[in-house]
Amino acid sequence: MSYNIRRLRFFVDDVYGSLQENQTVAEQFFLSEDDHELEEMMCMMVPYAHYSSFWGVARDELATKAVHTQEKEYLRLSWTGGITPLTSSTFIRAGYAHLTKGSFLSDLPIVGPALSMLFQERVIESLVVRNGKIVFRDLGYNWRLGVH
């Protein structure tokens, strides 16, 4: 029997039957994160959750709020698709990040913000859910191998 890799990636091993519940939690977390509702985000995370971004790694509520504030101030994130489950507790989504502040291009007067939109980077956000709470969140570049 032969398998198609493209079809296999849609099958997720759900041994404990928690995929649907965890996916609902992940969707709610992503929605609250996109709307910048910090209190709702904090309620969905365990107190020691690993929250990482371009500005560092946070392990408590106050540091997580600081990292999220940096993201909100310097990045404009746009997501290209929905949530993709990798396992029954791990989820990812892909999109683009546009630096709105802090880069040479975006700091140019008048034309800077418009020019910086042309240089968006691919990003990927991953999330791990355990027992209905977020324990790990990471936002980073989506590195692809170059073909030369």
Rounded to the nearest 10°, the torsion over CA 131, 142, 95, 34 is 40
Q: Which two tokens stand for residue 1?
A: 């029997």
Question: Parallel, antiparallel, or unpaired for β 90-99 and 133-141?
Answer: unpaired
Residue 25: inside a domain, yes or no?
Answer: yes
Range of the structural domain that residue 84 is part of = 17-141
Q: Which CATH number is 106's domain given?
A: 3.10.450.50
Could you give the number of structural domains in the chain?
1
Q: How confident is the model at residue 5 (pLDDT cuts 50, 70, 90)?
A: very low
Residue 40: inside a domain, yes or no?
Answer: yes
Cα separation, 133 vs 130, in Å, equals 5
Cα separation, 134 vs 30, in Å, equals 11
Query: Higher pLDDT residue, 129 or 2?
Result: 129
Residue 148: inside a domain, yes or no?
Answer: no
Residue 59: inside a domain, yes or no?
Answer: yes
Residue 146: inside a domain, yes or no?
Answer: no
pLDDT of 4 above 50: no
Least confidently predicted of 50-59, 114-123, 129-138: 114-123
Whether the CB-CB separation of 138 and 112 falls below 8 Å is answered with: no
Residue 8: inside a domain, yes or no?
Answer: no
Average confidence (pLDDT) over 41-69: 89
- Encode burial over 78-107: b for 16+ CB neighbours within 10 A, e otherwise: eeeeeebbeebbbbbbebebbbbeeeeebe
- For residue 3, the model assigns a pLDDT of 47
pLDDT single digits (tens) 65-89: 888 888 888 888 889 988 999 888 8
Q: Which two tokens stand for residue 107?
A: 């700091």
